[in-house]
Amino acid sequence: MDVNSPDTPTYIPPKPAERSTLPPPDSDPCSSCPRLLPEWALAVLIVLLLVVAISVGLNVMFVYKKRRLQRDLAIKAHLDMQKSSYTRKSNGNDIAQDRKAVKPPILRTKTIALKKSRIEIPRENIGISVSLRSIGDGQFGHVWKGETRGLTVNDGHVIPVAARELPASLTDDDILDNLVPLWSLKTHENVVQVFGCCLKTEPSYILTEYVPNGTLFTYLRTNGGIARTSVYANIDTLEADHQITVMEQNLFAFDVANGMEYLANKKVIHGNLCAHNILLTGEKRCKVADFGLTTLSNLVTKDGIYEMWMSPERLSDGLCSAEDDVWAYGVLVWEIMTYGRRPYSELGKENLQEMLISGYRLIVPQGCDQTTANLMKSCWQEKEGERPTFEKIKNQLGDKVEEEADYFALGSNMDSYYACVNVIDS
C-alpha cells in the first residue's frame, strides 16, 4: 500500500485528557485535630485549681481547729466539774459542799484518752540517779535528779529532769486526772514545766523540769545571815551580815507573782504556795513548783503540813481557792523579807485558826518598806474579795522594781524582762 496515496487515512493521535482541578475544600482539613487551649483559658484553669486547693486546705484547717476546740472544751468541762467543790461566791461567803456526796462524773472522751497516752513516758527513756542523794523531799516522797529523752519539747534530746516519787496508794486515774491539765500548760519563765509521768512501773514518777539551784527557802536561810541562828528566832533579831540585797528580794517577789498570775489565768490553784515550793534557776530567778497537786496530797494524807500559809477560811473548811493562794503569797513575801524564818513561830498550830479569825496577823519585819508592808497586809484581808489579784500584785511590784533598779526593762506583757543591775554584792 502506498502510504503517500490520498486514500490512505492519516493517523491522528488522541488528545490527552484534560486534568481536572479539585474544588476548594469546604472546611479546614485539620478541624478535627485536637488543639491546645488558648493562654487565657489555661490561666483560668490554673486559677480554678488554686481556688480548689486553697478551699480544701482551709476546710482541713477548720476541721482540725474545730476538733481541737472540742478537745479543749471537754478538758475544761472536766476540770470545772472537778473544781466545783473549790469555788466560792465572790462576796466571800463559802459554799460548803461534801466532796464525798457530790462526785463529778468522769469524762471519758477520746481526746482525754489521747492526752493520757501522750503524757506517759516509757521507763526505758528515763534514767534516775537513785544511788545518789535525793535533791529534795516533796509531799509524796523523795525527788531525784534524772534525765529523759523522747520529749517533743526538746526534739528527743536527753535533758535533765526532776523525778518525784508517787505513793502506791494513788491510782493511775487519780494521777492522770490531776496531771493532764498541768502537763498541758505552755512554757513560762517563772513556772516549772511538767514533762509527763511514768506509771507503768514501780515506783511511779512525775517528771518535771530540773531547776539547779534548789529551793528559795534554802537560799534565804543560807545567804540571809540566819544560818547560825534558829529559824524560830524573833524577827527583831535579824542579823546585818546577810548577802541578799533588797533588790534581790523584790525580784524574788516579782518572779513568784508573775508565775502565779499565769497559773491563775489558767485556772490552776497552787494550794501549797511557800518558799519551800519555789525553785531558783542558775540566774537566781524564781520558778513556781509543786502546783495543782493538793487533791493528790489530800488522798495520801490529811496532815496539814502547810497550815502556817493557809487562810482562815481554808483552815475552817479545807477548801482551796485563788484567794487562798493570795493569802499564802503574802506569807511567802514575809518569808523573803525575814530571810526564811518560820511564820507564826510564836504560836502553835492548835491556836493558829482561832488567832487568825480574831484578827491576829504576822508582824511586819524591821526595815521593810511601806509598799511591801501594805502589800502583805492587803493579802491578809479577812474578806476574800478584798484581797488583790496576782495581776495587780505583779504590776505593783514591777513598777517598784523598775523604780529602784539602775536599769530594768520590762516587756509589754511583763512576761519577759531583763535586769541589768548588780543584784548580788560581791
- The rounded distance, in Å, linking the Cα atoms of 426 and 412 is 32
Helix, strand or coil for residue 394? Answer: helix
pLDDT at 310 over 90: yes
**Residue 400 pLDDT:** 84
Fold for the domain defined by 211-426: Transferase(Phosphotransferase); domain 1 (1.10.510)
Winning range, highest mean pLDDT, from 165-179, 306-320, 369-383: 369-383
Closest CA to 90 of 411, 316, 305, 385: 385
CA 409 to chain centroid: 24
Mean pLDDT calculated for residue range 237-258 = 81
Q: Which residues make Cβ contacts (< 8 Å) with residue 411, sequence separation at least 6?
A: 417
Mean pLDDT calculated for residue range 273-298 = 88
pLDDT at 96 over 50: no
**Residue 211 pLDDT:** 93
**Residue 73 pLDDT:** 65
Closest CA to 271 of 348, 340, 182, 196: 182
- The rounded distance, in Å, linking the Cα atoms of 222 and 59 is 59
How much is the mean pLDDT over the chain?
Answer: 75
pLDDT at 416 over 50: no
Cβ contact 281:211 at 8 Å:
yes
Closest CA to 365 of 218, 219, 239: 239
Residue-wise pLDDT tens digits, 316-325: 888 889 999 9
Domain boundary assignment for the chain? 106-210, 211-426
Task: Please measure the distance between the N-terminal and C-terminal CA atoms of the chain and give it in whole angstroms.
Answer: 154
Better-predicted residue by pLDDT, 96 or 44: 44
Number of residues that this document lists for the chain: 426
- Phi first, then psi, for residue 288 (nearest 5°) are -75, 130
**Residue 126 pLDDT:** 78
**Residue 264 pLDDT:** 95
pLDDT at 185 over 60: yes
Residues facing 215 on adjacent strands: 279
82 burial via Cβ count (<10 Å: 0-12, 13-18, 19+): middle
pLDDT at 105 over 90: no
Alpha-carbon torsion 174, 175, 178, 180, what sign? negative
- The rounded distance, in Å, linking the Cα atoms of 33 and 82 is 75
- The rounded distance, in Å, linking the Cα atoms of 241 and 50 is 73
**Residue 138 pLDDT:** 63
CATH architecture of 106-210: 2-Layer Sandwich (3.30)
- Phi first, then psi, for residue 161 (nearest 5°) are -140, 165
Mean pLDDT calculated for residue range 414-419 = 40
- The rounded distance, in Å, linking the Cα atoms of 161 and 209 is 5
- The rounded distance, in Å, linking the Cα atoms of 226 and 198 is 39
Does the global pTM surpass 0.85? no
**Residue 334 pLDDT:** 97
